[in-house]
Amino acid sequence: MAMKQILSPLPGTFYRRPSPDKPLFKSDGDRVAVGEVIGLVEVMKSFHEVKADQDGKIVRFLVENEEPVMAGQPLADVDG
């Protein structure tokens, strides 16, 4: 299987949790399915879901919670 990356759809702040008191959407080593939410990117108080575009296992997140990201920036490595 090939390693692939999930990319940020737009610039903003990346969130790995739906809210501060909730658990992470996904962690390193978790399985992920196409269309499954792995995080959120917030731009000007608008939140956009980041979804997996392939089935596989998240090898590692490349961005921490609440870290700024650019459009097209890799967020996670996925082994499909």
Q: Percent of the chain, pLDDT > 90? A: 95
Instruction: Sort strands 37-43 and 46-51 into parallel, antiparallel or unpaired.
Output: antiparallel
Phi, psi of 30 (to 5 degrees): -75, 150
User: pTM for the whole thing?
Assistant: 0.92
Confidence tier at 1 by pLDDT (50, 70, 90): low
Whether 56 and 4 have beta carbons less than 8 Å apart is answered as yes
| Boundaries of domain holding 57 | 3-79
Write the CATH number for 24. 2.40.50.100
Number of structural domains in the chain = 1
What proportions of the chain, in percent to the nearest 5, are helix, strand and coil? 0, 50, 50
pLDDT tens digit string along 25-62?
Answer: 999 999 999 999 999 999 999 999 999 999 999 999 99
